[in-house]
Structure 1
Amino acid sequence: MIFNRTKDRIFYQTLIDAAGNIVEAVQLFRENVETLEEKEKYAERLKELESKGDTYTHLMIKELNSTFVTPLDREDILNLAVKLDDVLDGIEACAARFVYFHVNKSAPYLVQFADIIVSSALLLQESFIALEKKDFQSIRKISIEINDLENQGDKLMRDSLFTLFENPSDGLELFKMKEIIEKLERVTDLFEDLMDVMEGVILKYA
């Protein structure tokens, strides 16, 4: 059987590029939550990156439909692409909530969540680079690190909600921040979900 290595490269590079797009998005998100003073500008930019992510997903689907032999199972490639899109959608949704909830002031836990998400995104990008190299040992290590970051996100959510509800003064503000905190924690879950798919992929090929 003849394998088209150029086609293989397209699949891997598109996944790496999509992960890189997420890195750019989360770094912007981190800048945004520093003060939230220009939240509208950041939300617009993140929406552009979310649309760019959709382009990567559509490109992947197009290549899957036109390629006879793929470097990984078609279902796995598609699942990875969709999970990448889910992560980006989650980040963009958080940035949008700052705007339409009229959140004008940041908080330490927002910055802490952003730091966790940035670390997760950088590791995620590394995992897709390792996937092309078939460096399965590195992927397993990264999966453990992302799982640890997800656990940190769980704890941060619990601690943040405890602080919010300890001395509530404004019910509306409480609702806004509770919604955003839970959405941010869900983003950390999405990174872990993606690595679960990656773990399943390497089990087939390791």
Structure 2
Amino acid sequence: MMNNSFFSKFGPKEPKFFDYLEQVSEILLAASDMLQGALDSKTGEERMEFFRKIKEKERLGDELSHKIFEELSSSFITPFDREDIHLLADKLDDVIDRVNSCAKRIAIYNPKKNNPYEKSLGEIVKRDAECIYGAMGELASIRKNASKLKQNCKTLHDLENEADDVYETAIINLFEDEKDGIELIKMKEILNELEKTTDAAEHVGKILRTIIVKYA
């Protein structure tokens, strides 16, 4: 109860953390959209260009995360526990890093053909990013929007389960159908990184659940 009254009294005076978190989630959304382009690309030049663009988004995300951490160390009042803000920013940054890692593998490995399961996992990553972006927009009014935030958490969990199913099917088919050992390794690495990206997104949902329990 004490935490809730503290949140109500002081939260609106420190809006910048919510703004920063929403900006980070917007960067994630843009990067996940670019990832679709990388997965659709058929030439090494196109794939490398998407990687460069995503890498720039990743740098912007790092800068914002650093700004959040600096603000946390200098602000007397925060809308909720410093540890929760720090962890949420850190996990958001992890998802962007993973998207960047996916694009890097696509560009460097430059597979001879596009795997349809990679595209399916990439679409799940995009849906994760959309869900996280929506959640960050609701965070400033956490009491009012608790039910929406809970739904966001459930969606992220469901998407991670969906990604697991796609990944397992992809690996089974890959080992059955791909006869080129080098191409098999390339596709397996890309699939694995895409699946890890959905795991990272689901971790954001876990942090949000903790915050909901404390402040909603």
Does the alignment reach a TM-score above 0.5?
yes
After superposing on structure 2, the runs of 4+ consecutive aligned residues of structure 1 that deviate more than 6 Å are: none
Separation (CA, whole Å) in 1 of partners of 2:29 and 2:117: 20
Q: CA deviation at 1:5?
A: 3.6
Matched, 1:88 2:96: yes
Q: CA deviation at 1:101?
A: 1.3
User: 5+ residue gaps in structure 1?
Assistant: none
Does the residue aligned with 1:68 lie in a helix, a strand or coil? Answer: coil
Which string of whole-angstrom CA distances, capped at 9 and with x for unpartnered residues, describes residues 98-156 of structure 1? 12212243221121111111111001011111111111110101111111111110001
CA contact (8 A) 1:16 1:125 kept: yes
Separation (CA, whole Å) in 2 of partners of 1:4 and 1:140: 20
Separation (CA, whole Å) in 1 of partners of 2:37 and 2:88: 27
Does the residue aligned with 2:15 lie in a helix, a strand or coil? Answer: helix
Which string of whole-angstrom CA distances, capped at 9 and with x for unpartnered residues, describes residues 157-196 of structure 1? 0110011101331111111111111111110011111110
How many residue pairs end up in the alignment?
A: 205
CA contact (8 A) 1:113 1:184 kept: yes
Aligned equivalent of 1:161: 171
Separation (CA, whole Å) in 2 of partners of 1:181 and 1:107: 9
TM-score in terms of structure 1 length: 0.95
Q: CA deviation at 1:4?
A: 7.5
Which string of whole-angstrom CA distances, capped at 9 and with x for unpartnered residues, describes residues 1-42 of structure 1? 874744x21000000000000000000111221134310100
- The aligned runs of 1:69-108 (5 Å cut-off) are 69-108=77-116
Separation (CA, whole Å) in 2 of partners of 1:19 and 1:67: 22
CA contact (8 A) 1:164 1:174 kept: yes
- The aligned runs of 1:140-179 (5 Å cut-off) are 140-179=150-189
Matched, 1:121 2:129: yes
Q: Tell which deviates more after alignment, 27-36 or 85-94.
A: 27-36
Matched, 1:32 2:42: no
Q: Tell which deviates more after alignment, 102-111 or 180-189.
A: 102-111
User: 5+ residue gaps in structure 2?
Assistant: 1-5
Cα RMSD of the aligned pairs, angstroms, is 1.4
Equivalent residue in structure 2 for 1:20, among 23, 26, 31: 26
